[in-house]
Chains A and B, each alone.
Chain A
Amino acid sequence: MNIFVCVKQVPDTETKVQPNGDGSFIETSSIKWIMNPYDEFAVEQALLVKAANAGSTVTVVRVGGVKDTEALRTAMAMGADEAILVEAEDNLDSYSIAKALKGAIEKSDKTPDLILAGKQGIDDDCLQVPQVLAEMMNLPSVAVIVGFEQNGETVTVKREIEGGALEVYEVKTPCVLATNKGINTPRYASLPGIMKAKRKPMQQLTLADVGVSADDRRVKYSDFQLPPEKPPGKKFDAMDEAEQQKVVSEVVGLLRTEAKVL
Chain B
Amino acid sequence: MDFSLSPEQKEMYDLAIKFAKNEMIPFAAEYDEEGTFCEKQIKKAWELGFVNTCIPEKFGGNGFTLLDAVTIGEALSYGCMGMYTSIMCNDLALTPIVVGGSDEQKEKFLRPFTESPKLASFCLTEPGNGSDAAGIKTTIKDGGDHWILNGQKMWITNGGYADLFTVYCTTDPELKHKGICALVVDAKSEGVSIGNKEDKMGQRTSDTRAIQFENVKVPKENMLGSPGDGWKIAMKTLDHSRPLVSSIALGGSQRALDLASQYAKERIQFNVPIAKHQAIQFMLAEMQMKIEAARLLIQKAAWQADQGIQNTIAASSAKAFAADTCMQITTDAVQIYGGYGYSKEYPVEKLMRDAKLIQIYEGTSQIQRLVISREVLK
Evaluate contact between A198 and B8: CB separation under 8 angstroms: yes
Evaluate contact between A190 and B47: CB separation under 8 angstroms: yes
Evaluate contact between A195 and B48: CB separation under 8 angstroms: no
Assembly CA distance A77 to B72 (angstroms): 16
Residues 42-74 of chain B, each 1 if its beta carbon lies under 8 Å from chain A, else 0: 000001111000000000001110000000100
Minimum CB–CB distance from B117 to chain A (whole Å) comes to: 13
Evaluate contact between B63 and A194: CB separation under 8 angstroms: no
Evaluate contact between A189 and B11: CB separation under 8 angstroms: yes
B residues less than 8 Å from A198 (CB atoms): 8
Assembly CA distance A165 to B232 (angstroms): 68
A70 at the interface (CB under 8 A from B): yes
Summarize A's interface: helix, strand, loop or mixed. Answer: helix
A residues less than 8 Å from B8 (CB atoms): 194-195, 198
A residues less than 8 Å from B62 (CB atoms): 191-192, 195
Closest to B10 in A: A70
B residues less than 8 Å from A195 (CB atoms): 8, 62-63
On chain B, which size bracket covers the interface?
10 to 19
A residues less than 8 Å from B263 (CB atoms): none
Closest to B19 in A: A188
Assembly CA distance A34 to B62 (angstroms): 24
A36 at the interface (CB under 8 A from B): no
Q: Total A-B residue pairs with C-beta atoms closer than 8 Å?
A: 38
Minimum CB–CB distance from A188 to chain B (whole Å) comes to: 5
Evaluate contact between B11 and A70: CB separation under 8 angstroms: yes
Closest to A191 in B: B49
Closest to A12 in B: B14
Evaluate contact between A190 and B11: CB separation under 8 angstroms: no
B residues less than 8 Å from A70 (CB atoms): 11, 14
B25 at the interface (CB under 8 A from A): no
B141 at the interface (CB under 8 A from A): no
Given known A-B contacts A70-B11, A73-B7, A195-B8, A190 and B48 have beta carbons under 8 A apart: yes
Please pick, from B49, B63, B64, the residue contacting A190 in the complex, using a CB distance under 8 A: B49
Assembly CA distance A195 to B8 (angstroms): 7
Evaluate contact between B19 and A194: CB separation under 8 angstroms: no
B188 at the interface (CB under 8 A from A): no
Assembly CA distance A70 to B13 (angstroms): 12
B267 at the interface (CB under 8 A from A): no
Closest to A77 in B: B11
Closest to A195 in B: B62
Residues 13-42 of chain A, each 1 if its beta carbon lies under 8 Å from chain B, else 0: 000000000000000000000100000000
Assembly CA distance A252 to B72 (angstroms): 54
B residues less than 8 Å from A191 (CB atoms): 12, 15, 48-50, 62, 64, 72
B residues less than 8 Å from A192 (CB atoms): 49, 62
A96 at the interface (CB under 8 A from B): no
A residues less than 8 Å from B14 (CB atoms): 34, 70
Assembly CA distance A193 to B12 (angstroms): 10
B18 at the interface (CB under 8 A from A): yes
B residues less than 8 Å from A190 (CB atoms): 15, 47-49
Evaluate contact between B15 and A189: CB separation under 8 angstroms: yes
Evaluate contact between B63 and A188: CB separation under 8 angstroms: no
Closest to A34 in B: B14
Minimum CB–CB distance from B57 to chain A (whole Å) comes to: 9
B residues less than 8 Å from A193 (CB atoms): 49
Residues in A165-191 with C-beta less than 8 Å from chain B: 188-191
Assembly CA distance A70 to B15 (angstroms): 11
Assembly CA distance A38 to B50 (angstroms): 26
B residues less than 8 Å from A131 (CB atoms): none
Evaluate contact between A73 and B11: CB separation under 8 angstroms: yes
Residues 1-23 of chain B, each 1 if its beta carbon lies under 8 Å from chain A, else 0: 00000011001101100110000
Minimum CB–CB distance from B243 to chain A (whole Å) comes to: 18
Evaluate contact between B48 and A188: CB separation under 8 angstroms: yes
Assembly CA distance A213 to B12 (angstroms): 37
A74 at the interface (CB under 8 A from B): yes
Residues in A68-121 with C-beta less than 8 Å from chain B: 69-70, 73-74, 77
Minimum CB–CB distance from B249 to chain A (whole Å) comes to: 22
Minimum CB–CB distance from A36 to chain B (whole Å) comes to: 15
Assembly CA distance A160 to B15 (angstroms): 31
Assembly CA distance A34 to B50 (angstroms): 21
> Could you tell me which B residues sit within 8 Å of A by CB distance?
7-8, 11-12, 14-15, 18-19, 47-50, 62-64, 72
> Could you tell me which A residues sit within 8 Å of B by CB distance?
34, 69-70, 73-74, 77, 188-195, 198
With A70-B11, A73-B7, A188-B19 known, 18 other A-B pairs at CB within 8 A are A69-B7, A70-B14, A188-B48, A189-B11, A190-B15, A190-B47, A190-B48, A190-B49, A191-B12, A191-B50, A191-B62, A191-B64, A191-B72, A193-B49, A194-B11, A194-B15, A195-B62, A198-B8
10 pairs from A and B in contact (CB 8 Å cutoff): A34-B14, A190-B48, A190-B49, A191-B48, A191-B62, A191-B72, A192-B49, A192-B62, A195-B62, A195-B63
- Chain A to chain B: the 7 pairs with minimum beta-carbon distance, closest first: A191-B49, A190-B48, A194-B11, A190-B49, A192-B49, A192-B62, A188-B48
